[in-house]
Amino acid sequence: MLDIISIIVILVAVGLGAGTLGSMVGVGGGIIMVPALTFVGMAPSQIASTSLFAVTSTATSSTIAFSRQKRIDYRLGIEMAAFAVPGAVLGAFISDQISAADFRLYFGILLLLVGVYVIKRNSILREKEAGKIRPLRKAMVYATTFGAGIISSLFGVGGGVVFVPLMLLVLGMTMHRAAATSQLTLLVTSLVGVFTHVALGHPDYLYALVLSAGAFVGGQLGAKYSKSAKDLLLQRMLGVALIAVAIKFITDWFWAK
């Protein structure tokens, strides 16, 4: 069993790596921080709330950086956040009702599906910048965004694992623009989720602080590196990361049976 100092050092490193990757691909880094927290032996509601603190830190750092780069679609980001916020509140309450084993299984399935979609995206749609967006597509995005808000607070991943694929697959945005806009939506949604979790007494504040410190620095690094990275590379990075974590969670659930 690791001592508290070792755990803190590891979590700072995890936050740094998660913040960098999360900023580059627009997912907030929760896909890395949540698995790390499960190994510490925390309850699902603690995992979700503690990770969400760091996701908020990444989103704040990244939004500042992307704003300077003028890559954010502010109107779309705020509109999506407005639909995600009610879901974020609901997700915080649901996190109290789920077992640790089921948490890992559902989270794994979620990541597996999203990872496959993102990797296969180029064979589904032609690469194009969002131009005129049909009203039906936008309505589909907003309806799904509410569900993303639930996922955000339930799993502590911020909802970016849904926001980014929606922008890519449904709205036809490039990865560079989707990642940046997603961070703004993440910032608003995760803030509401954090406040709700705090009111319910869920977070571990020490772990949240050390993860957030690493994630904030990572958010700046990711925003910087993403400027020169190619869209296809970013998509593959996101997809591979999601699938790798998904396989680990799903196999853990089967071994526990």
207 token code pair: 């772990």
Q: Which two tokens stand for residue 35?
A: 């698995």
C-alpha dihedral sign at 148, 152, 155, 161:
positive
Q: Which residue segment(s) compose the domain that 91 sits in?
A: 4-256
Sign of CA dihedral 40, 242, 174, 89: negative
222-248 pLDDT, tens digit per residue, is: 878 766 666 667 667 777 877 887 887
Average pLDDT over residues 3-29: 82
> What's the whole-number mean pLDDT along residues 11-24?
85
**Lowest-confidence pick of 32-41, 50-59, 79-88, 113-122:** 113-122
Rounded to whole angstroms, the Cα distance separating 91 from 225 reads 32
Contact 23, 223 (CB under 8 A): yes
pTM of the model: 0.79
Whether residue 82 contacts residue 146, with contact meaning beta carbons closer than 8 Å, is answered with: no
Tell which residue, 165, 214, 179, has the closest CA to residue 33. 214
User: Which range (26-30, 76-80, 98-102) has the least confidence?
Assistant: 26-30
Q: For 24-64, write each residue's pLDDT tens digit.
A: 766 667 778 888 888 777 888 999 999 999 889 888 988 99
Q: Are residues 101 and 149 in contact, defined by beta-carbon separation less than 8 angstroms?
A: no
Task: Tell me what percent of the residues of the chain surpass a pLDDT of 90.
Answer: 29
Of the candidates 182, 233, 157, 155, the residue with the CA atom closest to the CA atom of residue 23: 182
How many domains are contained in the chain? Answer: 1
Contact call for residues 14 and 7 (beta carbons, < 8 A): no
Q: Would you say 149 and 159 are in contact if contact means Cβ atoms under 8 Å apart?
A: yes
